[in-house]
Amino acid sequence: MLVIEIRGLCKRYGQIKALDQFSLIVNQGEIFGLLGPNGAGKTTTIRILTTLARPTAGKVFISGWEVNRHSVRVKKEFGVVPQQLTLDVELTAWENLTLHGMLHKIPNRERNARIKELLAFVELEERSKDLVKDFSGGMKRRLMIARAMMQRPSILFLDEPTAGLDPQVRRQIWDLFRRLNGQGVTVFLTTHYIEEAEQICRRVGILNQGKLIALGTPDELKAKVGKVVVEVPNQCGTEYRVFESRETAVRYIAELNRDAVVRESNLEDVFIELTGLKVGD
C-alpha cells in the first residue's frame, strides 16, 4: 500500500527551482532514502510533505490525504525529526517529551506511559531526569526520534538524521530505524551520506538540483552503472572506469599495465555517472 505520493512537485524561491517536476511513491513499511548533495532540495521536500511549506505546483499525499487541503488530519499520520536541533536544552529529556505531549493534548496517564516506553526504546531511560544541554549529539538525536514517535505515527520523516555524528553513533541510530521499521513504521529520510543510503534504505531516490535523477534499490542503481569500478591514479587525481564484471575489469587493467584499484561500485559512482559530480561537492 502506498503511503506517500509526490506528484509533479515544483517549488520555486524566486529564480531558484528548489524542486523541479519531482514525482515519487513510497510504500508502507519501507525505509526510503532521498540522497543528494547540499542544495538538492531534500529539506524542501520534507518541509512540503510535513505541511511546513507549500508547493509552487504539484501535489503531495500522505495516507491518501492531500497534504495542503488536510493539513490538520495528515499531521496525525507522521512524526518529524528536523535537521536542526529543536529540543529545549534547558529542560530534561522527560520534560521535553512532556511538553510535546501536552502541546499535542495526549492525556496525562497515556503520556507518562508513552514517555517511559520511548525513553527505554531509545536507551535514554537512565538519563530521563538530566538536562538535555549535557547530552551528546547522538543522545539528542535519539531524544528527537523519541519525541517524533510520541503520537504513534505510522510514518517517520527524518531530515539528515545522522549528519555530523560519529560512525558508531550513526550505527546506533540506524539500529533505531530498523527497530521502528520492524514495528511497521514507514521511514522516510534524507541524507548526503552514501553509506547511509546503501546500508539501511530499501529504496533510494537520488535528488540533484531539484530533480529526481534515479530511483531504485541500491543494488538496482549500482547495476545500472556497472558492478565493478577500476580506479587508476593519474596526474590530475583518479580516473574511474566502470565494468559489468570483475573479469572485464581485470582484463582492462592487464592491458593498461598500470597500478589500479578494483572495487565494487557504490552509490557515489551512480551519482558521479549521472551528474559528473560527487555527492560531497
Q: Which residues of the chain form contacts with ligand ADP (CB under 6 A)?
A: 13, 16, 18, 36, 38-44
Closer of 207 and 260 to ligand ADP (Cβ): 207
Q: How far is the CB of 190 from ligand ADP (least distance, A)?
A: 7
* Binding at 38: pick from ligand ADP, Mg ion, none (beta carbon under 5-8 Å per type): ligand ADP
Q: How far is the CB of 220 from ligand ADP (least distance, A)?
A: 23
Closer of 39 and 233 to ligand ADP (Cβ): 39
* Binding at 41: pick from ligand ADP, Mg ion, none (beta carbon under 5-8 Å per type): ligand ADP
Closer of 10 and 253 to ligand ADP (Cβ): 10
Closer of 159 and 198 to ligand ADP (Cβ): 159
Q: How far is the CB of 144 from ligand ADP (least distance, A)?
A: 17
Give CA 133 to chain center in angstroms: 25
Q: How far is the CB of 142 from ligand ADP (least distance, A)?
A: 22
Grid coordinates representing 190? 534524507
Residue nearest to Mg ion as judged by C-beta position:
43
* Binding at 18: pick from Mg ion, ligand ADP, none (beta carbon under 5-8 Å per type): ligand ADP
Virtual CA dihedral for 69, 74, 75, 80, nearest 10 degrees?
-110
In sequence order, the 6+-apart residues with CB closer than 8 A to the CB of 197 are 33, 35, 191, 204, 218, 267
* Binding at 40: pick from ligand ADP, Mg ion, none (beta carbon under 5-8 Å per type): ligand ADP
* Binding at 111: pick from Mg ion, ligand ADP, none (beta carbon under 5-8 Å per type): none
* Binding at 6: pick from ligand ADP, Mg ion, none (beta carbon under 5-8 Å per type): none
Q: How far is the CB of 164 from ligand ADP (least distance, A)?
A: 14
Q: How far is the CB of 164 from Mg ion (least distance, A)?
A: 13
Which residues of the chain form contacts with Mg ion (CB under 5 A)? 42-43
Q: How far is the CB of 29 from ligand ADP (least distance, A)?
A: 25
Closer of 205 and 226 to ligand ADP (Cβ): 205
Closer of 112 and 209 to ligand ADP (Cβ): 209
Residue with cell 535523477: 213
Distance from C-alpha of 213 to C-alpha of 123, rounded to nearest angstrom: 38
